[in-house]
Chains A and B, each alone.
With several copies, the nearest count.
Chain A
Amino acid sequence: MRRRHIWSDDIVKKIDAIIRTELLPIVKEQLKNTGINGMTVYSVSGWSRGKDEVLQWKGHLIVHDFIAKSKLEIIVSDEQVNAVIDTIGKYARTGEHGDGIIFVLPVERAINIKTMDDRDRAFE
């Protein structure tokens, strides 16, 4: 039986997480087990204070300060927020510089295009 996902206008959140690209596969797999019903991945490049990727050109090491990262975007109901954050924290974390950030945004409405329904049962 398919899990039921309750979405209603007031309790939907968007979780964005910028993570290491090399950990994306494992994070994606694990997130599927948290009961979310979908996610979207972006290829981005990120900068943060601290150690950068180094590329060479003409024998010079060039600080390639913007490093390829992956961003996950997940729309979840309020009660799923912590499970998702925990999962990301567990599998996207190396403890080294560059692990990335998670942020949570409020969502006013979320609509499933297939059904054009923005209330419960939207994703079944």
Chain B
Amino acid sequence: MPLDASDTTWIIVATGLVMMMTPALGFFEAGLLRSKNSLSVIMQTFSGLAILSALWFILGFTMVYGQTLSGIIGGSDWLFFNGVPHEEALSYAPTIPGITFASYMMMLAVITPLLMTGAIAERTKWSAFLVLMIAWSIFIYYPLAHWVWGKGGWLAQIGVFDFAGGIVIHTSAGMSSLAAAIVLKRRKNFGTALLLPHNIPLAVIGASLLWLGWFGFNAGSGFITGALASNVLLVTHIGSAMGAIVWMLLSWKRSGRASLTAVINGALVGLVAVTPSAAYITAQNAFFLAIIAGLISYFAMILFKEKLKIDDALDVGAVHGVTGITGSLAVGFIASNAINHSVPNGLLMGGGPALLQAQAIGVGVAIILGFGGTLIISKIINKIMGLRVKEAEEDICLDITQHAEKAYLE
């Protein structure tokens, strides 16, 4: 197939949109944390953008998309991006240059591990954070992405569908967040009134750019423009809107006052919910899916935070993990062959349980690898170098103790 200029244009733009999501995530999180630790999370996301881009360039791309070694991991064909074609396409995205595909996927590989920054916030050592991100990419993300998205990956083989990363990205990073939060233990003062957000406008700036970026994230993941991308964009937008509305109503009901932080979290939930299925469902189904995912995630948040008392600071486990699971399983119910010919019909669309079974396996693997793998990685890092700052440093704050900088000065 010859390269298509329109598709390439769209993926170039989408690459930019997704790139911006990583700093946006930093603003979202920083605004919802205390002022004294807000710089540290922006540092983590922004530096993470640089470091994980380099890691993908050197190692990641070939581990995920290189010629598969028995469905387990990609070979070293494209180490350091060597040989990734400029003027020709790869089979993954047959109408755009190979480097365009590789660059786009870089942005996904950057943001995924960084989702965990919301869970480990306000107590993680800077150096340990760097090691965690790199180890997690190499041992969890690159393999899992290869299994689901790589040509010949074993989960792809058994028929798992994950359009823009419900399993590979949100389930894995969300479950990993819970594991890391457990290993790190709770922040001092967890459960008291002392951990309120310090700059909600900043958080909303982040949320708005995430919403926009997600248009590139989802509608770019088909690697073509046109009707498919158009439908994905609509599905994504409706998902976000309904997630926001559900969380807004739940916060209103629970506390008597409609909460803006709930609205922005709900929007993310909606976006995550439709991510794995965005190209396989109608906007009408996205409407209902986002409502259901909104409800589930809100109660998961309460469960983790209030019942299990896991200090996943910004609820990454609920917002991304649980919603990623919901959305990935939903593919098995509502994927529609009429919308997208590459996908079989889900259970509710008359397709039988096969797809649902495959999805369940994919989700299960991501949970085990994400939660289990992160537990192990975190414990090893904790053993070797310590994952958490000293108590006195936590009291003072990460911004000064880790970076000798303050977010705001008069």
State the A residues within 8 Å of B (CB). Answer: 20, 22-23, 25, 43, 53-65
Contacts and interface: CB of A to CB of B under 8 A. Distances in A.
A54 B211 CA distance: 30
A55 B395 contact: no
Contacts of B302: 58-59
Nearest to A96: B392
A71 to B, nearest CB: 13
Contact of A61 (B197, B255, B395): B255
Contact of B251 (A43, A56, A65): A56
Contacts of B308: none
B5 interface: no
A59 B298 CA distance: 10
A59 B189 contact: no
B396 interface: yes
Given A54-B404, A56-B257, A62-B196, 19 more contacts: A22-B396, A22-B397, A23-B395, A55-B406, A56-B255, A56-B403, A57-B193, A57-B195, A58-B302, A59-B251, A59-B254, A59-B255, A59-B259, A59-B302, A60-B254, A60-B255, A64-B193, A64-B196, A65-B193
B305 interface: yes
Nearest to B253: A59
Contacts of A59: 250-251, 254-255, 259, 262, 298, 302
Interface in B172-200: 189, 192-197
Contacts of B197: 57
Contacts of B3: none
Interface in B53-69: none
Contacts of A56: 251, 255, 257, 259, 403-405
A63 B404 CA distance: 10
Contacts of B397: 22
A25 B192 contact: yes
A63 to B, nearest CB: 6
9 contacts: A22-B396, A43-B410, A56-B257, A56-B403, A57-B193, A58-B315, A60-B255, A61-B255, A62-B196
A60 B405 CA distance: 11
Contacts of B192: 25
Q: How large is the interface on B (under 10, 10 to 19, 20 to 34, 35 or more residues)?
A: 20 to 34
B195 to A, nearest CB: 8
A58 B298 CA distance: 9
Contacts of A57: 193, 195-197, 261
A61 B404 contact: yes
A55 B403 CA distance: 8
A58 B301 contact: yes
B40 to A, nearest CB: 14
A54 B305 CA distance: 20
Contacts of A25: 189, 192, 194
B293 to A, nearest CB: 17
A81 to B, nearest CB: 28
A55 B315 CA distance: 19
Contacts of B12: none
Contacts of B83: none
B194 A53 contact: no
Nearest to B251: A59
B194 A55 contact: no
A28 to B, nearest CB: 10
Nearest first, the 5 A-B pairs at minimum CB distance are A59-B254, A22-B395, A56-B255, A56-B404, A62-B193
B79 interface: no
Nearest to A70: B410
Nearest to A64: B193
Contacts of B193: 55, 57, 62-65
Nearest to A26: B189
A55 B301 contact: no
A57 to B, nearest CB: 6
Residue in B192, B193, B396 with the greatest tally of chain A CB atoms within 10 Å: B193
A20 B395 CA distance: 10
Contact of A55 (B254, B400, B410): B400
Interface string B235-268: 0000000000000001100111101011000000
Contacts of B250: 59
Nearest to A61: B255
A55 B196 contact: yes
Residue in A20, A22, A23, A56 with the greatest tally of chain B CB atoms within 10 Å: A56
A109 B192 CA distance: 34
Interface in B107-129: none
Nearest to B196: A57
Contacts of A61: 255-256, 404
A22 B262 CA distance: 27
Nearest to A65: B193
